[in-house]
Amino acid sequence: MNSLLIALSIAGGVVLAGVVAHGAWTARKATPKMADPEDLNAIPDAMTSSRDNLPVLKDIAIDGDERHIEPSFDPDAFHNDLPVPFEFAQSNDKKASLDPLIDVITPIALDETVSGDAVLAALPATRRVGSKPFAIEGLREVTEQWEVPQIGERYSALQAGVQLANRTGALNEIEYSEFVIKVQAFADQVGGTPTFPEMRDEVARARELDIFASNHDAHLRFTIYAVGAAWSTGYVSQQAARLGFVAGALPGRMVLPDQEPNQAPILSLSFDSQAAMSDEEGPPTAIGEVSLSLDVTHVAQEEHAFARMRECARTLADRMEGVICDDQGNQVSEAALDRIAADLNQLYATLDQRDLSAGSVLARRLFS
């Protein structure tokens, strides 16, 4: 065998080895990482996980006021991952919810006290005016406190309210007219006389509030992309559960719950819902990305939500062999994260000054 044949044989062997290696690498990448069944007991209960296990973000000075906070500001995309929009308190919650800061409030004078049964029977079929929440409250005769009407109680006065603005926009003239018609019909049934504020003033107030809300609404989202092998949904769920996430109401969604009851989740983690549903019935489906989201105005500053989001993203990326990117697919730097933290400090301060502190009932209603 001459030297040419030997060289060709060696070259062929190298090429064959390369093809085999590439095939093995491709197969490995196509096979999703699976959850470890022996490690399931090590997953902590999300409700008992301590916020002290995550770093606290120190205050950072900031110049200016930015709404479009990096790395992502996509209200439409994020909105699909939100919980059910905030509504007024229902009849099983006696606490009043109307507030002149974000509501049009119409007093309804009564000729005589009225029972809660009569009030509830006269309520409109829907609790919305256009796209805005609508509510009726009563002044309980005994306690002289405003509350959602209750069966068996008596009320010396009533008031109706409609929200000035939410994420669908400001209350407009058509919605205000619908509010007037709905309240007047209700008042006629209970023997009351409503006194409506001037429509022009309330619509102007709604527009001003909507402008403020639009300029101070913030959604943050990180996307973690797989660098090596793809993941199964079970693997992602297991890794997220170790950080305190629990299954959400929809397939492909997990949430980091607040320790306080009736609060919005601190963070949301989402991945391919179709893959999540198919994995329940068949072999695991490979997924290559997950999204970590924070609705800033729905979570109190004291929860240090962004610091927790930052640490969760970093931990997931490290454990799952991924990289943290923005919505344009650009890797997020530590400097960019520091700028976001500074912007959020300013945002929190501005909301506090307006009596719409992040995580408060009013903020959650306005930014819903």
Compute the 3-state secondary structure of the chain and give helix, strand, coil in percent, each to the nearest 5.
40, 20, 40
Q: How far apart are CA 173 and CA 176, in angstroms?
A: 5
**Which DSSP symbol is given to 43?**
P
pLDDT attached to residue 5: 59
| First-to-final CA distance of the chain | 80
46-73+219-366 and 103-214: identical CATH topology: yes
The pLDDT profile of the chain, 368 residues, written as one tens digit per residue, is 566 556 556 666 655 656 555 555 554 555 666 556 655 444 444 333 434 443 333 333 333 333 333 343 333 333 344 444 455 544 445 566 899 999 999 999 999 999 999 999 999 999 999 999 999 999 999 999 999 999 999 999 999 999 999 999 999 999 999 999 999 999 999 999 999 999 999 999 999 999 999 999 999 999 999 998 899 999 999 999 999 999 988 999 999 999 887 788 999 999 998 888 876 666 778 899 999 999 999 999 999 999 999 999 999 999 999 999 988 889 999 999 999 999 999 999 999 999 999 999 999 999 99
Q: How far apart are CA 364 and CA 356, in angstroms?
A: 9
211 backbone dihedrals φ, ψ, rounded to 5°: -65, -45
pLDDT attached to residue 261: 79
pLDDT attached to residue 3: 66
Question: What are the residues whose beta carbons fall under 8 Å from the beta carbon of 3, sequence distance 6 or more?
Answer: none
* Nearest in space to 87 (alpha carbons), one of 317, 348, 340, 361: 361
Question: What are the residues whose beta carbons fall under 8 Å from the beta carbon of 129, sequence distance 6 or more?
Answer: 162, 171, 175, 178, 179, 182
Looking at domain 103-214, does it have CATH number 3.30.1400.10? yes
CA 304 to chain CA centroid, nearest Å: 15
| 305 neighbors 218 (Cβ within 8 angstroms) | no
Angstrom distances, CA of residue 334 to CA of 54, 157, 341: 17, 56, 11
For the whole model, what pTM was predicted? 0.76
Indicate the CATH number for domain 46-73+219-366.
3.30.1400.10
All structural domains of the chain with their residue ranges: 46-73+219-366, 103-214
